[in-house]
Amino acid sequence: MEGKKQQVDDPQKILMVPMIAHGHATPFFELAKKLSKANFHIYLCSTSAVLSFLKQSQEKYFSDVSNTNIELVELHLPSMPDLPSHYQSTKGLPNHLYPPLFTAYKMAGESFSIIVNNLSPDLIIEDFFQAWAPDIALSKNIPIVSFSVVSAASYSFMYHIYLSDGATDDYPFPEICLSNNEIEIGLVSKPTGSSITVFMEKILVYSARKKSCDIVLINNWKETEVKYMQYLSSIINKKTLSVGPLIGQTDESTQDDQDSDIIEWLDKRDPFSTVYAVFGSENVWSKENIQEIAHGIELSNVNFLWVLRFPGSEVEQVLPEGFLNRVKERGMVVSRWVPHAKIMRHKSIGGFLNHCGWNSTVECIHFGVPLIAMPFNMDQFITANYAVELGMALKVQRDEKGGLKREEIAKAIRNVIMEKKMGEELRETSKELSEKIRIKEEKEIDQEVVEELRNLCLMNKKEKKEQLQRLYSCGELTVQELISIYFLCCFFDSELLKHIPDLRLVILEHFEDVEQAKAQWLNQGDQNTKYFHGLVKPRRNCNRIFHIKDMKGDDIDDPVKIPKAL
């Protein structure tokens, strides 16, 4: 009974490969934690830079020695002459290095294939952007499932305009629909006038997703996105399953002396009097935009804490001249790491000025802080509209060309922080949503998701067993292959031995035959005996040519003519 129970409880192996961005790796790791609790063994594969980030951000998880069901596996990128070796993720990546990084990533298929061979997973869960993952999975008969780290609202709108080459007239949810101007702004690097379908295929490789299994996992809050999930399912012809909301670490238990000045500064501010501005690790605003944001914050006349980083330059060099001196009594600009969760929970924070990345938006809902939405690219514009629809956000309006305007930034900040009626309504809605989402976060992953993934894993194992049985019964496996399979079964899949119960016996019989043959050869091998000729004649026949086609394609079987044809 013990042996049988062990076989039932053996965890299925899942290999997860997120995009090489911190904003993608975090929800992948949170999903890995949930799946590991459902008795899956997870291998999370990414570059050294992303894995280092996970080890740091998930220090509490890795410090617990009982957590053994998640292993980090390094993916090696090929070296590129115009890509410095330390740039292995999109965090803080200068804009001019995006092309070489993505070129290197597109060439990482060979490295990933080796990883798949070594780990032999039962299932692969992949992100967008890597077209090689589905091809490698299919070539090795391993099921693969796509995991969307953006909301169903964003996914459905982006896939709709991908299918329609940018047309939005028949998109069924006008409340989140983007204008043509917003679409052009959101597709940051699209050449003017080029096809939206072609551009999105190049970036998101949607066609590769068609090769994956008939389910898609989504990091979302299902109760707020039912209609978007249903529409998405109808246009991608796959079942959509919610695995969220997934949120990173929200309990920074240690106090770092380096960040004590931030908390002390916030302690001196009145409740809800301060705006907290953060624009994520993946988005690099231009110097002109940063200066427009700074002027907007200054015009608002509101207390603020701004986390600002600009690769290759000191913060003072990108801000307007004299800005820091003018706002020093009511503002704080920092470029280092900050205790994000502590700040979001602080009583003085009345609004969150943010780019509307999906992770940041989910965090905003979790902490119950009103969102001042200032999106940077495509999915963020959709997320901003989704947050406004929920009633917990106010969107910064842009000019007719889509540019940032300091007056509109200042207006949005004042409306959230200083306008009593609007601010109170946003805070009340944010608080209600926070209470609801926290209940959902505490629940284990839906059993439907677990069953779907486990069925895929077991189906894969079953197909492998059936294939092995067919080869075995047809005698298409060499003895050496049988021996290798036997030892692999002993170490990794003892249940498989039940399906080929006489495998060990065949191997033993082979060795007995070999020993007898050796003994007989020692006695009679070189003698002119019937035994000797019985060995030589079959080998001679194997080396003899009985039939050949000449240059004209005519069949020749005459032993005299065959040498001439050759």
pLDDT digits (tens, 9 = 90+) for 533-563: 555 555 555 556 666 666 666 777 776 676 6
Q: Can you give the pLDDT at residue 6?
A: 38
Q: Can you give the pLDDT at residue 552?
A: 65
Residue 146 has pLDDT above 80, yes or no: yes
Q: Can you give the pLDDT at residue 473?
A: 62
C-alpha distances in angstroms, 553 versus 344, 549, 560, 564? 81, 5, 18, 15
What number is the average pLDDT over the span 340-354?
A: 95
Question: Which of 20-34, 44-58, 166-180, 236-250 has the weakest average pLDDT?
Answer: 236-250
Rounded to whole angstroms, how far apart are CA atoms 33 and 248?
A: 11
Q: Can you give the pLDDT at residue 4?
A: 38
Which positions are catalytic?
24, 127
Q: Can you give the pLDDT at residue 560?
A: 66
Rounded to whole angstroms, how far apart are CA atoms 230 and 87?
A: 39
Q: Can you give the pLDDT at residue 301?
A: 96
Q: Can you give the pLDDT at residue 533?
A: 55
φ and ψ at 83, to 5 degrees? -125, 110
Give me the chain's average pLDDT, please. Answer: 84
What number is the average pLDDT over the span 41-69?
A: 91
Burial 346-359 (b: 16+ CB within 10 A, else e): bebbbbbbbbbbbb
More confident residue, 197 or 463: 197
Contact call for residues 328 and 345 (beta carbons, < 8 A) = no
Q: Can you give the pLDDT at residue 205?
A: 82
Of 304, 306, 146, which Cα lies nearest the Cα of 232?
146
What number is the average pLDDT over the span 284-293?
A: 90
Question: Which of 60-69, 266-275, 291-300, 449-458 has the weakest average pLDDT?
Answer: 60-69
Say which DSSP state 77 is in: P
Determine whether 48 is exposed, middle or buried from the number of CB atoms within 10 Å of its CB (0-12, 13-18, 19+): middle
Domains of the chain: 13-248 (3.40.50.2000), 259-421 (3.40.50.2000), 470-564 (no CATH)
Q: Can you give the pLDDT at residue 3?
A: 42
Token pair in block for residue 219? 């990091």
Question: Which of 173-187, 422-436, 535-549 has the weakest average pLDDT?
Answer: 535-549
What number is the average pLDDT over the span 85-107?
A: 88
What number is the average pLDDT over the span 455-476?
A: 69
- Describe the strand order of the beta sheet including 239-242 as a list of residue ranges: 70-74, 40-46, 12-17, 123-126, 144-148, 215-218, 239-242
Alpha-helical (H) ranges within 443-502 are 447-473, 479-492
Radius of gyration, CA atoms only, the chain: 31
Determine whether 9 is exposed, middle or buried from the number of CB atoms within 10 Å of its CB (0-12, 13-18, 19+): exposed
**Maximum alpha-carbon separation in the chain:** 110
Q: Can you give the pLDDT at residue 490?
A: 54
DSSP string, 9-41: HPPEEEEEE--SSHHHHHHHHHHHHHHHHTTEE
More confident residue, 522 or 230: 230
Q: Can you give the pLDDT at residue 508?
A: 52
Q: How many C-beta atoms lie closer than 10 Å to residue 73's C-beta?
A: 17
pLDDT in tens, 372-387: 999 988 899 999 999 9
Contact call for residues 30 and 44 (beta carbons, < 8 A) = no
Confidence of residue 320 (pLDDT cuts 50, 70, 90): very high
Residue 491 has pLDDT above 60, yes or no: no
Contact call for residues 392 and 365 (beta carbons, < 8 A) = yes
Report the chain's terminal Cα–Cα distance, integer Å. Answer: 66
Residue 69 has pLDDT above 50, yes or no: yes
Give strand pairing partners of 145.
125
Confidence of residue 517 (pLDDT cuts 50, 70, 90): low
Confidence of residue 98 (pLDDT cuts 50, 70, 90): confident
Of 516, 498, 507, which Cα lies nearest the Cα of 479?
507
Contact call for residues 362 and 385 (beta carbons, < 8 A) = no
Q: Can you give the pLDDT at residue 557?
A: 73
Q: At what angle do helices 406-417 and 420-442 cross, to 10 degrees?
A: 80
Rounded to whole angstroms, how far apart are CA atoms 256 and 253?
A: 10
Q: Can you give the pLDDT at residue 275?
A: 98
Q: Cβ neighbours of residue 530 under 8 Å, at least 6 residues apart?
A: none
Rounded to whole angstroms, how far apart are CA atoms 49 and 61?
A: 18
Confidence of residue 17 (pLDDT cuts 50, 70, 90): very high
CA angle 258, 259, 265 (to 5 degrees): 130
Of 532, 523, 299, which Cα lies nearest the Cα of 412?
299
Contact call for residues 365 and 441 (beta carbons, < 8 A) = no
Question: Which of 56-65, 227-236, 340-349, 474-483 has the weakest average pLDDT?
Answer: 474-483
Give strand pairing partners of 294.
none
Rounded to whole angstroms, how far apart are CA atoms 471 and 115?
A: 26
What number is the average pLDDT over the span 283-305?
A: 93
Residue 5 has pLDDT above 80, yes or no: no
What number is the average pLDDT over the span 160-170?
A: 93
Distance, CA of 338 to chain centre: 25
Rounded to whole angstroms, how far apart are CA atoms 460 and 466?
A: 10
Of 380, 361, 382, which Cα lies nearest the Cα of 434?
361
More confident residue, 385 or 420: 385
